Each structure stands twice: as structure tokens, then as C-alpha cells.
Amino acid sequence: MKAFIACLGTETNTFSPIPTGLRNFQDTMLYHGDATRAPADLHTAPLIVWRELAAADGDEVVESLATFAQPAGITVRKVYEALRDEILTDLKAALPVDLVLLNMHGAMVADGYDDCEGDLLARCREVAGTDAVIGGELDLHCSITPEMRAAADALVSYKEYPHIDTKERAAELYAICRDAKLGKTTPVMAVHDCRMVSTWRTPVEPMKTFVARMHALEGRDGILSISFGHGFPWGDVPCVTARMLVIADGDKKKAEDLARQLGQEVWAMRQETAPVTMPYKEALSRAAAAAAGPVVVADIADNAGGGAPSDSTFLLQEILDTGLSDNISGLYWDPLAIRLCKEAGVGARLNLRIGGKCCRESGIPVDLDVTVKGIIENATQPFGSVTQQMGDAVWLQAAGNVNLVLNFIRGQTFHPDAFSQFGIDLASLKIIIPKSSQHFYAGFAPIAAEVIYATSPGTLNMDFANLPFTKLATPFWPNVEDPFKS
Ligand SMILES: [Zn+2]
């Protein structure tokens, strides 16, 4: 058997003004056929799993492009088309292939393409033919479209947010596709549109039990796989709402019934699962007054992982305005400030203009007297079992033990190591502010006296009911109370 593997993706926040161009793909992750020879990161890990499984089965692997851009605004059209066409050219050269396995995001939008994954899958089908089995792995923040479903034999999304199960889902997709090619199974997919726009945190109840329930239903009674596509709220696309996807073995009705049933269960939990957030000024004041620390105040509106600039200054300005001490915030994406700090060196005292540079949602820059306490070139941070690049990183300290970490490659704060690798004792601080919506949770929760999700002006507006969608044709909750009532 011959498997063709590739990765192309980003999560597009159509409300973000930052364009996604080739430089973003280059900075984040770009391999031309050799990604599996490098250490795994979040998006190459599935390809590495597929190569290992194929090798164990004695199968041949043809590896194509593997690239991913840090989430931002709409992808530049010619950039998307060039990356897509590289995969298609490689696929054509590899023919005939038995399996096409693509690692994608599921919420990628390019200029002229609301559904990049649907486009990529359809074109792969055209090239590979109907005999090939085509499978796609998706982030759970995906918009599952009819085009994706029509072109693929199997789609499997992560179940966990934070996304700690990318490798397991890759192995699951591989097994489903290989069994299908061998004629052992006939995967059929059904999708139920929950008509909901929200976010769901899977480490906490009731989602924790729901995820366990999805696992328990798989692998028996003809159910091959269950995915809950949460949707990505900040994509103005026709299929933005959450969708339940079930793959059954040959029985379409069984897949449809279970997708609808599980979708209704998610609907029934909507009040319990709705994200609990707090305005940032209130969050910081509560954290400062806490009897025990550190309190983790997540700056969720400036999460680069959702397309935000990661240089907003709203929380920093509030810290300075109210004189809060013993805190750390980051990661601020500020290449210019990093350049100045590197030029000055460790120990230098500077009046530095920090953040607030990318766009209106960044707020205004903050001018601060700081000491350069540390510089780490090509820093990394762990995320689950993989390593994420931070680029050059700088630790700054201002009066009142106000600490900041700036980094060169725009990205969210996944793990306490993003800060503590400088030798900073996080346990001694009162407030820790990672710029992240949820991925911070796995690493930071164990060291936190409390975790608060703080809202602020920014690109990731949590007021789901009033997001300015223009392409969604159906009503959705929480914009209306019951989107199924006509
Ligand atoms: Zn995601």
C-alpha cells in the first residue's frame, strides 16, 4: 500500500486585520517533504505518526508539503494557491496512491476561498481518483462543510481543548482509512449542525464526561469515530457553527441518528458549558486581592492562537495605572523592542516602547522604564508532548516587580516554561498573565491558586451573540434562544 501525506493549514480569524502571507507560514512551520525528519511539533506530529504506522505495516509513504501558519487574518490568495498546488503536484507525481492523509485545520479562509479544506480535499480527490481513500485530520475548531464531507472518506477532529490528542487522532484516522482501503470497513459520515457558536473547555465538566462518552461509543456497534467540531467563532463563513460528525461502518442512518443525538446532548448542556469570563479590570483587581497566589489571569482576547496580534497592552496598562506589583505577562510579540533589547544586552536599563503596534485591537504602546533581565535566543516552550518555537525571547522587569516576556515568533503562551526558562520563580508572584484562550490551562492550572478568563478589547470578542456574521444562513445560539424554532 502507498500512503501520501501532507499538511496545510491555519486558523483564520476573518475579523483579524493581520494578513496571513508566506512569511507567516515560513516563521511557523514550512517543510517541503521532510517534516517527519525534524522533531515533532503540534502540526507535524500527525505526519510522524502516519509514517511510523505505515512503516510498521510495511507500507510506502510519499511525504509532501507540511506547513502551518500562526492564526491571523485571511490568507493571501496566491500564497494559498501556491501551497495547495505544491501538494497537488506532488500527489500527481506519486500516483497511484492508496491513501491520502491530510493534516489540516478546518477553519482556513483565503481570499476567494471560504473553505480552503473543502477546496483542497476536492482537488485531491480529482487527482487521486475514486479508488484512493482520503482522510483528513482537523482541529476541533473547524468548520465542517458539505464540500469537505463530500470529498473525504473520513474526517476526524481532535477531541480535547487544549489539543493534547493530535497523535491519537492521527492514529485513529490512519486505522479507519487503511481498513477502508483493505475492504474491512465502509466508512460513511453524517454531520449534525448544532447551530451553536461558543467555545467548550474539555478538561472541565460537563465536557470532560462528554468526551469520555464519545470515546466509549467508538469502536463498537458499527461506530468507527465521533468528532465534535466546536467551530471557530471568529470566522465569518457559512459553516461557522458547531457540528457533530459521526463515522459509521456502512450504516448512514446509524451515523445520522447518533450525530443528532449527541448534538442534542451538547445543546442540552449549553448553559453549563458557556464560557465563564470576567472583564479584565475586575479580574486583575480580584487577583491582586487574593489571599493566596499566584492567580492566573488569561488574556483571552489577545490569543495569537486565535489570530490576535499578541501585542495588546490593555492589561499591562491597567497594572501600571493601578500600581499592581509582583506579576508577569506575555508573550508580547514585539520584534522591534526585542532588537533594541538585544542591542543593549542583559543588565541594560531602557525606556522601552512596548506592544500596541499591530492594529487597533492592540491598544496603544506602553512606554516603560525596564531592565533587561534575560535574553534567550531561539527559545522554545513545550505544548503537550511537542515543542513550540518562540524565537528570540527577552525578559524585562519594571519597578514593582512587574515582569514581561517578549518574543520574536508570534504565538500564544502554551506553558509556564515560556516564562520560567529565564529562571523566574512563578510561585513567588501574585499574578501570571498568559496571552492564551485555553491552551495555557494544561500547564498553568497546576501552579495556579485560581484561573480567571479575562475579557478585554481585542480580536477575540467573546460576545458570541453579537458577532457580525454576514455569511451564516441559519439562526444560531446565543444570538437567538432556540435556533431550531422556525
Ligand atoms: Zn483549536
Residue 356 Cα to ligand 1 midpoint, Å, equals 25
Mean pLDDT of 88-108: 98
| pLDDT tens-digit series, residues 230-289 | 999 999 999 999 999 999 999 999 999 999 999 999 999 999 999 899 999 999 999 999
Please report which residue ranges of 269-395 form alpha helices under DSSP H: 270-273, 280-289, 314-322, 335-344
Distance (angstroms) between ligand 1 centre and the Cα of 181 equals 29
Ligand 1 centroid to residue 384 C-alpha, Å: 14
Contact 190, 252 (CB under 8 A): yes
pTM of the full predicted structure?
0.89
| pLDDT of the residue at 486 | 66
Residue 140 alpha carbon to ligand 1 centre in Å: 6
In eight-state DSSP terms, residue 421 is T
Distance 353 CA to ligand 1 centre (A): 32
The whole-chain average pLDDT of the chain stands at 96
Q: How remote is the CA of residue 291 from the centroid of ligand 1, in Å?
A: 34
Distances (CA, A) of 16 to 136, 302, 389, 422: 26, 11, 22, 31
DSSP secondary structure letters along 82-98: HHHHHHHHHHHHH-S-S
Q: What is the mean pLDDT of residues 90-102?
A: 98
* CA 348 centroid distance within chain: 36
Ligand 1 centroid – CA 464 distance (Å): 17
Output the CA 325–ligand 1 centroid distance in Å: 33
pLDDT at residue 327 is higher than 70: yes
Domain definitions of the chain by residue range: 2-273, 278-461
Give tens-digit pLDDT for 433-459: 999 999 999 999 999 999 999 999 888
> Quick check: 44 and 140 in contact, CB under 8 A?
no
Is 70 exceeded by the pLDDT of residue 96?
Answer: yes
- The proportion of the chain whose per-residue pLDDT surpasses 90, expressed as a percent, equals 93
Residues with Cβ within 8 Å of 7's Cβ and at least 6 positions away in sequence, in order, are: 35, 43, 44, 46, 47, 65, 66, 67, 68, 102, 103, 104
Q: How far apart are CA 191 and CA 74, in angstroms?
A: 26
Asked if the model's pLDDT at residue 420 lies above 80, the reply is: yes
DSSP single-letter state for residue 44: T
Cα 460 to averaged position of ligand 1 atoms, centre (Å): 13
Centre of ligand 1 to C-alpha 64, Å, is 23
CA 292–ligand 1 middle distance (angstroms): 32
What percentage of residues in the chain have a pLDDT greater than 70?
A: 100
How far apart (Å, rounded) are the C-alpha atoms in residues 145 and 428? Answer: 48
Distance (Å) from CA 46 to ligand 1 centroid: 15
Q: How far is the CA of 406 from the centre of ligand 1 (A)?
A: 23
Q: Which of the listed CATH numbers 3.10.270.10, 3.40.50.2300, 3.40.50.1980, 3.40.30.10 matches domain 2-273? A: 3.40.50.2300
How much distance in Å is there from the Cα of 169 to the middle of ligand 1?
14
Q: Which of 2-11, 26-35, 54-63, 458-467 is least confident?
A: 458-467
For the cut 70, the answer to whether the pLDDT of residue 383 exceeds it is: yes
Arithmetic mean of pLDDT, 466-474: 93
State the distance from the centre of ligand 1 to the C-alpha of 60, rounded, in angstroms. Answer: 30
Cell of 24: 507567516
Cα–ligand 1 centroid distance for 396 (angstroms): 30
Lookup: cell for 53: 504506522
